A = this chain, B = another copy of it.
Amino acid sequence: MKTLKKITIIGSGNVATHLAKALYREEYQIDTVYSQTKENAVVLANEVDSFPIDKISQMDVTSDLYLIAIKDDAIADFSQQFPFKDQLVVHTSGSISMEVFKENGFTNYGIFYPLQTFSKDKKIHLDEVPFCIEGSNEKIEADLIHLAKNISSKVYAIDSEERKKIHLAAVFACNFTNYMYTISEDILKKNRIDFDILKPLIQETAKKILKNTPQEMQTGPAVRKDQNIMQDHLDMLSNQKDYQTIYQLISNQIKQGS
């Protein structure tokens, strides 16, 4: 039984769009889509059979849930302006505490955080995305978990402190990993070698940690303590001091941990 049937979506970016569409597919009613940019609200509203608005004063008071999927640093400000302080609100951020709602006078609130990296034009199977859920009371948490389970098979009750730790870990596992890819592409590009040659290695590196811990799967000159190769690599990076610093620092870490 759906307790949160009628939903207003705040935002029109990647997360808002993915969630709105998934909920719409599961026959939730998307009452309104709010975006400061009317055109964006219209685009998303059209896709989920909803009503686009661009002013907070136009907000519909009758929704069961207001799902705030906007930039992290806009959440506090929006919460302050939001008029219906008794209504149920959630945000989708990994790093903003649930307290932001309490501080802005809300009584019913929670977190609805999909732990994934969303990009425009890149399809995501939400069913496999872990959702970290928290509620300001047990009933709300149960309702939000129920809602999340309608769109994902991986739903976790996670409090705000844990969620911040997960988000920090995700920065290393996703953002910094992607930056390692960027460096590797840059090194190849400077030598006119196509990045494609590294793609199978990158895929395999990610797959290996599905069945073993990353520590067990560590390979390379640093874990072998192969000083000659590491020195060769540092020499090759002599024109790129920033990469050289990263190479040295991470290699030392791997050596110490091994």
A residues near B, CB below 8 A? 71-73, 95, 115-117, 119, 122, 124, 128-130, 132, 154, 156, 158, 162, 164-166, 168-185, 187-188, 191, 193, 195, 197-215, 217-224, 226, 228-229, 232-233, 236-237, 242-243, 245-247, 249-250, 253-254, 257
Instruction: Find chain B residues with CB under 8 A from A203 CB.
Output: 206-207, 210
* Closest Cβ–Cβ distance, residue A186 to chain B (whole Å): 8
Contact of A72 with B229 at beta-carbon distance under 8 Å, contacts A122-B208, A181-B177, A182-B214 already known? yes
Instruction: Find chain B residues with CB under 8 A from A164 CB.
Output: 232, 236
Question: Is A187 touching B200 in the complex (CB atoms < 8 A)?
Answer: no
Instruction: Find chain B residues with CB under 8 A from A72 CB.
Output: 224, 226, 228-229
* Closest Cβ–Cβ distance, residue A115 to chain B (whole Å): 6
Question: Is B193 touching A162 in the complex (CB atoms < 8 A)?
Answer: yes
Question: Is A185 touching B165 in the complex (CB atoms < 8 A)?
Answer: no
Residue of B nearest to A117 (CB): B219
State the CA gap A54–B124 with chains docked (Å): 52
Residue of B nearest to A95 (CB): B229
Contact of A253 with B179 at beta-carbon distance under 8 Å, contacts A184-B173, A221-B95, A229-B72 already known? yes
Contact of A208 with B119 at beta-carbon distance under 8 Å, contacts A171-B247, A246-B249, A253-B242 already known? yes
Residue of B nearest to A199 (CB): B210
Can you name 25 A-B pairs with beta carbons within 8 Å? Answer: A115-B201, A119-B208, A119-B217, A130-B197, A130-B201, A164-B232, A165-B188, A165-B191, A166-B197, A168-B187, A168-B233, A168-B236, A169-B183, A171-B233, A171-B247, A172-B181, A173-B201, A175-B219, A175-B254, A177-B205, A178-B205, A181-B214, A199-B210, A206-B206, A246-B249
